[in-house]
Amino acid sequence: MRRTPLDPDTLEAVANRFKVLAEPARLQILNELRAKPSNVTELIAATGLNQANLSKHLQLLYTHGFVMRKRDGLFVVYALADPSVFALCDIMCAQLGRRGTELRKRAR
Amino acid sequence: MRRTPLDPDTLEAVANRFKVLAEPARLQILNELRAKPSNVTELIAATGLNQANLSKHLQLLYTHGFVMRKRDGLFVVYALADPSVFALCDIMCAQLGRRGTELRKRAR
DNA sequence: CACTTAAATTACTATATGGTTATATAGTTG
DNA sequence: CAACTATATAACCATATAGTAATTTAAGTG
């Protein structure tokens, strides 16, 4: 059995990681990278995000260790560094499924 | 094999759920409730959050289906509605463990 | 080295949200 | 129903951050 996280530093560290995933644009990026590693230009096309915005999201994903990157000539290729993200998303999606039924009323 | 979530509504719904967990105070509340259902007064004591703030966090946790509640006389008792939260946290914590080594440099 | 393309960074704006104080509501008890 | 306690809500401020436009940096090519 695991001890639950209690100290403020751990709480904050975990919250910060959730925060990185708490953004549709970043989930979309991760989802694209799930299919295949891509350079920024490809990601612009795939996501519809503009260059500066995408770059900022990529920085954040990178500094938090969700993606890796390597330069390839003029391009920088990003790739998933942490597939466990999708385990998280799958759990979330499962919750979404159950949600539909009972949460509509609350949300209003 | 699971199809990955792609449509904007799903992305946003998943992001919104992550957002709820992307807050140390709410993680702390969930962690308290993991031990036992508690009323608001008890949670004030356990978390150190003030009444209004705690109440807002509880509303959010409730509307997103992370907690249940029932009135008990003057009190309102909150309880975990969705233990899968801790599966999420465990995955996050595992990432934290791996992180320490290589991410310190990036974070700066 | 001048020119071009890719990506990162800077500066800015707008919006969302956490915390707080004050107030309102719900339920209990006399 | 008046007084009291527990919780929820409203109003406000301060901060964080997503998006954008403009600029800079890095790398490649003539």
Question: CA-nearest residue of chain A to B104?
Answer: A63
Judge: A15–B4 Cβ closer than 8 Å, yes or no. no
Q: Which of A5, A28, A21 is nearest to A64 (CA)?
A: A21
- Whole-angstrom distance, CA of residue A88 vs CA of residue B59: 23
pLDDT for the residue A5? 54
Chain A contact for B64, CB < 8 A? yes
* pTM: predicted TM-score of the whole model, two decimal places: 0.89
The string of pLDDT tens digits covering residues B63-76 is 999 999 999 999 99
Q: Could you tell me if B29 and B61 are in contact, meaning their C-beta atoms sit under 8 angstroms apart? A: yes
Instruction: Tell me what the mean pLDDT of segment B99-104 comes to.
Output: 55
Q: Could you tell me if A48 and A10 are in contact, meaning their C-beta atoms sit under 8 angstroms apart? A: no
Distance, Å, A44 CA → C2 C1': 29
Scanning the structure block, which residue is given the tokens 């209003």?
Answer: A108
- Which residue ranges of chain A lie beneath pLDDT 50? 104, 108
B58 touches strand D (CB under 7 A): yes
Q: Which of B42, B40, B38, B73 is nearest to B55 (CA)?
A: B40
Chain A contact for B22, CB < 8 A? yes
Which of B8, B19, B89 lies closest to A5 in CB terms? B89
- Structural domains in chain A, CATH included, are 8-81 (1.10.10.10)
